[in-house]
Structures are given as C-alpha cells and as structure tokens.
C-alpha cells in the first residue's frame, strides 16, 4: 500500500511547486514587511525601486517602498519619469491621523517652491481631510499613494480607495518630495528609496 501511495504524491508535489513558483517574490523584506519585486498600477507594470525604514531618532515609525515604471537612481529621474507610480507605507507604530496630515503638509511645503506648493494646496487639503477622518493609523496598517495617469493621485488605506482621486497633476510630485526632496523626512530613507546601499546608523537595525 505504501509503494502505491508514494507515486500518487508526484502530481500533488508538482502542483504545489507550480503554485509556489507563481507567487510574487519579495524583492525586499524591511522590518518584517514584504515588498514584492513587481506590481501593477492602472494596468502598468511597476518595479520596486527601493524600500527602507523611516526612523524618528532611533524609533522605527514606518517602512516605505517606491514603485516606478523603471529604475531611477536620482530623485530627479524618479519625479520626472512618466507613467504610473506608487509609494507604499506600512506603519510600525501607532500615529494620530491629524498629526500625520500635518507632517505631510509641512514636508510638502519644505520641499516645494512657493509656486509649486500653491498648485498642490487643494490636494493637500483633501489629503489632510482623509487622514483626519481616519483618526489614527495603528501599527500593522498601511496606505499607498498611487499616481494614475489620466486620473490623478489616489490614496488607499489598507487596500481600500479613500475619497476621490486628487486631480491636480502637481500634487503627486509635491508629495513625493517629502521623501525625495532636498529636505527629506529621512536622508537615509531617501537613499534607500533610490536603491542606494546605506549603512545602518547606531541603534537603527532592520
């Protein structure tokens, strides 16, 4: 009976191997969070450009991954690149939604010219309202900011679209400069999102 049973496992093992092979491979695992190598936004395939951790002093706040149509080594290339894009963030600690909205607004203002920020104000107000309505993001929750050509910027919280797309074309670039601008939220995270090798700072362990 055992000999008859062993050959019967062959097709099952082959099926399991095939299923595993079709699962998206994690190109990066950051503080336990998987960032797949590829995904699709608005029907366009994107590649993981880089991923890392946002630290507040030595405390981990969130992980972030940047997806682009093709690899970019500089902020200028990433911002100027046409097509769909996504920044995905997973929280590693709780944060008040109102506080997060204020931080994003300040980050956009610090990294934009007066004219650039003025054009992004309607979208900034819309984004702030979304996070105020959410009230707080808990550790383990996540959100994405997607640029969808012809539609605008869509914010998703835990995979669900929140509100209508932000139509101003300047808004997505202004928001990306929070992490990729001249005064980024975290210099090390900026390098990580651009795919540059970085050395862990004292107390900053993945």
* DSSP category for residue 24: P
- Residue 118's contacts (CB-CB under 8 Å, 6 or more residues apart) are none
Predicted local distance difference test score (pLDDT) of residue 62: 94
Domain extent listing, the chain = 25-193
Architecture of domain 25-193: 3-Layer(bba) Sandwich (3.50)
| Tens of pLDDT, residues 11-53 | 444 443 444 443 444 578 999 999 999 999 999 999 999 999 9
CA 184 to chain centre: 15
Q: Residue 6: which pLDDT band, with cuts at 50, 70 and 90? A: very low
Q: What is the mean pLDDT of residues 59-76?
A: 96
Q: Residue 54: which pLDDT band, with cuts at 50, 70 and 90? A: very high
Q: Is 158 helix (H, G, I), strand (E, B) or coil?
A: coil
| Tens of pLDDT, residues 159-184 | 999 889 999 888 999 999 999 999 99
Q: What sections of the chain are H helices per DSSP?
A: 2-22, 75-80, 97-110, 114-134, 169-180, 187-193
Separation between Cα atoms, residue 139 and residue 48, nearest integer Å: 23
Separation between Cα atoms, residue 26 and residue 5, nearest integer Å: 35
CB 62 within 8 A of CB 91: yes
Separation between Cα atoms, residue 153 and residue 84, nearest integer Å: 10
| 9: pLDDT strictly greater than 50 | no
CB 145 within 8 A of CB 86: yes
Predicted local distance difference test score (pLDDT) of residue 136: 86
């Amino acid at each position: 009976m055992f000999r008859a049973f062993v050959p019967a496992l062959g097709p099952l093992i082959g099926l399991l191997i095939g299923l595993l092979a079709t699962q998206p491979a994690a190109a990066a695992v950051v503080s336990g969070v998987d960032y797949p190598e590829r995904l699709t936004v608005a029907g366009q395939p994107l590649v993981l450009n880089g991923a890392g951790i946002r630290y507040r002093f030595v405390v981990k706040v969130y992980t972030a991954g940047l997806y682009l149509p093709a690899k970019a080594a500089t902020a200028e290339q990433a911002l100027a690149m046409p097509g769909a894009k996504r920044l995905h963030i997973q929280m590693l600690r709780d944060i008040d939604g109102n506080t997060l909205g204020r931080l994003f607004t300040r980050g956009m203002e610090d990294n934009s010219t007066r004219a650039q920020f003025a054009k992004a104000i309607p979208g900034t107000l819309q984004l702030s309202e979304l996070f105020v309505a959410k009230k707080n993001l808990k550790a383990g929750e996540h959100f994405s900011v997607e640029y969808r050509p012809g539609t605008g910027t869509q914010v998703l919280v835990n995979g669900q679209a929140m509100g209508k797309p932000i139509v101003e074309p300047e808004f997505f670039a202004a928001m990306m400069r929070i992490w990729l601008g001249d005064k980024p939220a975290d210099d090390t995270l900026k390098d990580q999102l651009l795919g540059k090798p970085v050395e862990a700072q004292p107390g900053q362990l993945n």
